[in-house]
Amino acid sequence: MTKLLTLNAYAKLNIGLRVLGLRKDGFHELHTHMHTIDLCDELTFQKTKSSVEIDIVPVTDIPLEKNLIYKAIRLFQQKSKIDQNVQCKLTKVIPMGAGLGGGSSDAAATLVALNQLFDTNYSNNTLAEWGAGLGSDIPFFIEGGFACAKGRGEILRTLDSPYQDHTFVVIIPSIECSTPEVFKAWDEFADSMSIHDVSCEQMDSQNDLQASACRRYPKLKAYEKLIQSAPTNLKGMSGSGSSWYVGFTNEREAKAYQTQLQSLQLEAHIHCVKAITTTKE
């Protein structure tokens, strides 16, 4: 019988994000805190004698060669010298263009899964080094939890989480944000900005991309205004948008706030999720 291997690929929140300028390589220098949450995609892998196949539910129109799962499979084959192909079924829950890292998390889960499926025993550090070439967030998702990220987001320092008992209400508008477009909007106003870094210990929920995302996608301003009145100080936009989060120490209060938002009939999905400190299953 063909062995099946199923893994979850968890979403993340950026709890604070500083943009420190444009680098010579075209990327931006960042400083952010990232935390995995229990909103996740599900990926199931099996070996196959035919070509690589990726079955996505619900169906998307992304060409196979541009899919990060496909790129991660080919990268693993190249690095490991294993030429056997795999089939993957992806049950997609994390929306694209939401600032939750869904594509990067899927790619990281793919590297972890193939390492298990082929018993290659590569270390997580090795998988993270490989993944960094595919996407800046991928090294974080290899282990998940809570981390301070610098550089493009690939230089990681794991931290003890102050949020492990928190419940987050995550608002995901029906708006797909392009990360390059949001950074381009940031570049246009960079000369007039006061750019400053803070220590990992001083990081708050301020997101330097929030204003740029709202300029590029004006419909986000309504959500920005909405969470300003949320009954907690732990709130902000995740990544380059379009998602917003509000954090609570009391799960009952979080669910009450979720219900309140759902009554507004927003064009958005509203999830009540837990912060998780490990993605190992």
- Our CA dihedral for 104, 172, 43, 55, rounded to 10 degrees, sits at -100
Using CA atoms, how far residue 32 sits from 59, 88, 152, 256, in Å, is 32, 31, 10, 29
Instruction: Collapse the DSSP code of 186 into the 3-class scheme (helix H, G, I; strand E, B; otherwise coil) and give the result.
Output: helix
In the residue annotation, 165 being an active-site residue is answered as no
| Contact predicate 12/240, CB 8 Å | no
Which residue in 84, 89, 49 sits closest to 69, CA to CA? 89
Question: Can you tell me the distance from the alpha carbon of 25 to that of 28, in angstroms, rounded to the nearest whole number?
Answer: 8
CA atoms within 13 A on the CB side of 72: 29
Residues near 261 by Cβ (< 8 Å), separated by ≥ 6? 169, 171, 226, 270
| Contact predicate 106/68, CB 8 Å | yes
The token pair that represents 246 in the structure block = 């509000």
Instruction: For the chain, state the CA radius of gyration.
Output: 19
41, 106, 137, 208: the catalytic one is 137
In the residue annotation, 12 being an active-site residue is answered as yes
12, 71, 92, 235: the catalytic one is 12
Q: Which residues are catalytic?
A: 12, 137
